[in-house]
């Protein structure tokens, strides 16, 4: 079967047309940036909070009975507070990608970089709860790889300020400028 094709781009390349999934006006400007992050969410959040983003892998396994399909769940945190949970389904159609993951220790999250692939990004849907929590579902696709990712974000993601002790608080204090940003997307 031919690999699925997805419109859009990854990286800081401007698409030729507006995103196929319009974002409703209920999202704040900062939230819209998160919704359209296309493989660089960790870098954006690290820059915003001026701190390293950590990734905790909760699940990373081959789907039972499905050759080349994997399930992954991670939590992203900054200064000890979780700011997103991402659940992914990864489908690999080329044997060299499956071999790299299963026999050569290439992590699913590093597959694009390892093979120097430039996937396309497509926002499938975005939803915001009355509490302020929001989520997005999107795909990252290229020849032989399709990742479908659901990310959930807590309410007040950008209303919280850094506390010097670490962690996200509700105060109006500034961030610790001594903390360094990490440029690694996982």
Residues 163-167: what's their mean pLDDT? 38
Q: Residues 29-66: pLDDT tens digits?
A: 999 999 998 888 999 999 998 999 999 999 989 998 88
Tell me the C-alpha distance between 53 and 40, whole Å.
12
Q: How many residues does the chain have?
A: 186
CA–CA dist 64, 67 (Å, integer): 8
Q: Which residues of 4-18 are buried (b: 16+ CB within 10 A; e: fewer)?
A: eebebbbeeeeeeee
Please tell me which residue, 2 or 101, carries the higher pLDDT value: 101
Enter the pTM of the model: 0.76
Assign 34 to helix, strand or coil. helix
Q: Which residue has the higher pLDDT, 184 or 137?
A: 137
pLDDT digits (tens, 9 = 90+) for 65-99: 889 999 999 999 998 889 999 999 999 999 999 99
User: Is pLDDT larger for residue 146 or for residue 10?
Assistant: 146
Place of tokens 């997005």: 136
């Amino acid at each position: 079967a031919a690999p699925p094709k997805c419109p859009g781009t990854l990286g800081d390349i401007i698409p030729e047309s507006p995103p196929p999934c319009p974002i409703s006006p209920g999202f704040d400007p900062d939230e819209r940036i998160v919704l359209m992050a296309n493989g660089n969410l960790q870098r954006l959040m690290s820059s915003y909070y001026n701190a390293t983003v950590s990734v905790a892998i909760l699940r990373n396994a081959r789907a039972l009975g499905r050759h080349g399909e994997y399930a992954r769940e991670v939590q992203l945190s900054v200064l000890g507070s979780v700011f997103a949970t991402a659940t992914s389904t990864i489908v690999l159609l080329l044997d060299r990608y499956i071999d790299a993951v299963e026999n050569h220790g290439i992590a699913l999250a590093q597959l694009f970089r390892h093979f120097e692939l430039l996937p396309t990004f497509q926002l499938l849907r975005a939803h915001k709860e009355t509490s302020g929590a929001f989520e997005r579902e999107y795909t990252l696709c290229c020849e032989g790889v399709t990742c479908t990712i659901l990310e959930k974000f807590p309410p007040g993601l950008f209303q919280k300020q850094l506390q010097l002790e670490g962690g996200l608080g509700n105060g109006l204090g500034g961030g610790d400028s001594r903390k360094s940003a990490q440029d690694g997307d996982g």
